[in-house]
Amino acid sequence: MKPGPTTRLFVLGVLALSVLASAPFLGSEFLSPALLWTTGPAGPEREILLVLRFPRVLLAFLAGGSLGVGGLVFQSVFRNPLASPYTLGVASGAAFGAALTVILGLGATAFGPAWQTVGAFAGGLGVMALVQALGRVAGRGSATLLLAGVAVSFSCSGAMLFLQYLADFTQTFRLVRWLMGGVATVGYGGLAVAAPLVLCCLAGVYRLDREQDLLLLGEELAAARGVAVEKVVMLLLFLVTVAIGAVVALCGPIGFVGLMIPHLCRPLVGPEHRYLVPATMLTGGGFLVLADLLGRTLIAPAELPVGVLTALLGGPFFLVVLWRSRGSSDR
């Protein structure tokens, strides 16, 4: 008998948690799990494990899960298989906010990373607020929101290029490296701030699973079934924007995860969002942990930013989805 979606979701969870548990010990150099219960003074290997690898893996899992759920929400709201968390310009706005803190000299202060995080978070939320305002003025549904997001995204990208032109060599190097996307971190400070916020947003998305199922059928039919379409869409976009803004603030823009993961999960657990939301979170988290592990080992002792790897994988995947969408529209 073919296993049901509950069983498949359980298997995905076991696989994702297995990746999460094993990844900290793997890399350019294997670190033994016995270091966790070694008594006596903490050696350099144990410090690397506890201060560098564990928070890095947890951040990668949180970021991948958030991006996966974000892509699922965007594809459901816009009924577009090519939509992703960056469709409405959240990533471009966050990148512009972070770049602005660097250009203003805040990044060179003792609180530089904190200022960069605040700038990225404010930029992402600001763009989302602007897009929602434009959508209300136009009043033509989610399609208008999508077009407004694309336009604002291009504007932010242009402003970003202008800031790079004004920057000196050191500032430009920092901006370029941040824009590549990465999950390298030291300690648990940023993770402790972002994780509760992100998890609350993802829980809110999960609570709206029925509404997302109905939105896939069309706004008119969803409204006929009692869904307050405009309010639900705005709430979903707000929750996703807050989660993605927090992730981008810590990791930089990491593309294509939100595009790929929902397409990988739908054949496994089906179209219902009560299964899809946790499936995309688990699969996205495990995927980004594996991608970061590959980036840490591929050109060791140097490291390849995880955003570069996801872009290399996501480009061909985007073309495959585009081709399949074309084929289905032709029929």
Spatial distance between the Cα atoms of 331 and 328, rounded to a whole number of angstroms: 5
pLDDT score of 75:
87
Phi, psi angle pair for 250, to nearest 5°: -90, -35
Whether 171 maps to a domain, the answer reads yes
Contact of 78 with 144, CB cutoff 8 Å: no
Asked if pLDDT for residue 28 goes beyond 50, the answer is yes
What is the number of domains present in the chain? 1
pLDDT score of 325:
63
pLDDT score of 56:
92
Spatial distance between the Cα atoms of 105 and 70, rounded to a whole number of angstroms: 32
Query: The pTM is what?
Result: 0.87
Categorize the per-residue pLDDT at 288 as very low, low, confident or very high, splitting at 50, 70 and 90. very high
Q: What percent of the chain has pLDDT over 70?
A: 92
**Token digits of residue 215:** 């939105």
Question: Exposure of 272 by Cβ count < 10 A (0-12 exposed, 13-18 middle, 19+ buried)?
Answer: middle
**CATH assignment of the domain containing 72:** 1.10.3470.10
Asked if pLDDT for residue 126 goes beyond 50, the answer is yes
Asked if pLDDT for residue 40 goes beyond 70, the answer is no
pLDDT score of 158:
86
Whether 302 maps to a domain, the answer reads yes
pLDDT (average), residues 209-226: 87
**Token digits of residue 136:** 């209300």
Spatial distance between the Cα atoms of 45 and 194, rounded to a whole number of angstroms: 27
Contact of 166 with 96, CB cutoff 8 Å: no
Q: Work out the mean pLDDT of the chain and round it to a whole number.
A: 83
Q: Which of 23-37, 115-129, 209-223, 317-331 bottoms out in mean pLDDT, i.e. has the lowest?
A: 317-331
Whether 219 maps to a domain, the answer reads yes
Whether 3 maps to a domain, the answer reads no
Whether 34 maps to a domain, the answer reads no
pLDDT score of 1:
63
Spatial distance between the Cα atoms of 71 and 77, rounded to a whole number of angstroms: 10
Contact of 239 with 204, CB cutoff 8 Å: yes
Higher-pLDDT residue of 245, 113: 245
Q: Which of 84-93, 120-129, 312-321, 322-331 bottoms out in mean pLDDT, i.e. has the lowest?
A: 322-331
The parent domain of residue 228 ranges over 54-325
Whether 239 maps to a domain, the answer reads yes
Whether 17 maps to a domain, the answer reads no
Contact of 90 with 249, CB cutoff 8 Å: no
Spatial distance between the Cα atoms of 114 and 103, rounded to a whole number of angstroms: 15
What's the pLDDT tens digit per position in 61-90?
A: 999 999 999 999 988 888 877 778 777 777
Whether 257 maps to a domain, the answer reads yes
Categorize the per-residue pLDDT at 42 as very low, low, confident or very high, splitting at 50, 70 and 90. low
Higher-pLDDT residue of 291, 219: 291
Spatial distance between the Cα atoms of 242 and 69, rounded to a whole number of angstroms: 12
Spatial distance between the Cα atoms of 245 and 250, rounded to a whole number of angstroms: 9
**Token digits of residue 118:** 């605040």
- Closest to 318 in 3D by CA, of 330, 329, 328, 326: 326
Cα 287 to Cα 67, 305, 310: the distances in Å are 11, 14, 10
Categorize the per-residue pLDDT at 127 as very low, low, confident or very high, splitting at 50, 70 and 90. confident
Cα 236 to Cα 68, 77, 296, 299: the distances in Å are 14, 8, 34, 39
